[in-house]
Amino acid sequence: MSPQATPIADTAQDLELSERLLAPDGSRVPNPRLDPFVVDVDAAQLRALHRDMVVLRRIDAEGVALQRQGQLGLWAPCQGQEATQIGTARALDPRDFVFPSYRETGVIYARGAQPGDYVRMWRGEEGAAYDPAALGVAPLQIIIGAQTLHAVGYALGIQYEKAAEVAVTYFGDGATSQGDVNEAMIFAASYQAPVVFVCQNNHWAISEPVAVQSQYPIAGRAPGFGIPSLRVDGNDVLACLAAMRWALDHARSGRGPAYIEAVTYRMGPHTTADDPTRYRDDAELEAWRRRDPIARLEAYLRRVGEFDDDHVADTQAAADAVAKEMRAACLGMVTRPPLAVFDGVYAEAHTGLERQRDEYAAYLASFESEV
DSSP 165: -
Instruction: Judge whether 266 counts as a catalytic residue.
Output: yes
Beta bridge partners of 171: 199
Instruction: Judge whether 150 counts as a catalytic residue.
Output: no
Beta bridge partners of 222: none
Instruction: Judge whether 203 counts as a catalytic residue.
Output: no
All residues at 6 or more sequence positions from 126 whose CB lies less than 8 Å from its CB, including other chains = 336, 340
Would strands 258-263 and 229-233 be described as parallel, antiparallel, or unpaired? Answer: parallel
Residue 18 CA, chain-centre distance (Å), reads 19
Output Rg (C-alpha) for the chain, integer angstroms: 22
Active-site option among 68, 95, 255, 279: 279
Contact 63, 113 (CB under 8 A): no
Helix (H, G, I), strand (E, B) or coil at 263: strand
Active-site option among 270, 291, 296, 327: 270
CA distance 21 to 87: 12
CA distance 93 to 85: 15
Contact 236, 230 (CB under 8 A): no
Residue among 74, 129, 79 nearest 100 (CA): 129
CA distance 208 to 222: 22
284 φ, ψ to 5°?
A: -65, -45
Active-site option among 20, 90, 266, 296: 266
CA distance 307 to 267: 25
Residue among 96, 126, 124 nearest 110 (CA): 96
Residues assigned a catalytic role: 266, 270, 279
